[in-house]
A = this chain, B = another copy of it.
Amino acid sequence: MAIVIGFIPDKYGEAALAHGLEEAARRQTGVVVVNTTKGDALVDNRYLGAEGKVTLEQRLADSGVEHEIRQTMGGDVADEILAIAKDVAADAIVIGIRHRSPVGKLIMGSVAQRVIIDATCPVIAVKPA
């Protein structure tokens, strides 16, 4: 049992991380932070490098919440999050999503849509402040 957090190093990932840690503290459970890239980490800035991982580790340690970081590469991002959620029998998955675009178009990222539709546990969609 844990809160699974979809994390990429941007404001959406940050929003998910902050909310996921809160949620885990409230439920007195741990977090599994999932950072996935489809492709080559060297050119994908959504993937945490060694330095980013150390910083994240430190923040998680500071939170006092039991935690684990899982980095995967090559798979579909939604599939990886869903597989890990299943693997750890997640209480919930937290993902960061975009606000409606300025031109007012209704767009939800395909990763977010797939996670929300295919997850068997609750999915918490949060937005950057």
Contact = CB atoms under 8 A, between A and B. Distances in A.
For this chain, the copies found in one complex come to 2
Interface stretch (A41-49, A55-63, A117-125): A117-125
Interface of A: 19, 26-27, 92, 97-100, 106-108, 112-114, 116-120, 122-127
28 contacts: A19-B122, A26-B26, A26-B27, A92-B124, A98-B117, A100-B117, A100-B118, A106-B113, A106-B114, A106-B117, A107-B117, A108-B108, A108-B113, A108-B116, A108-B117, A112-B116, A116-B116, A116-B125, A119-B127, A120-B127, A122-B124, A122-B125, A122-B126, A123-B124, A123-B125, A124-B124, A124-B125, A125-B125
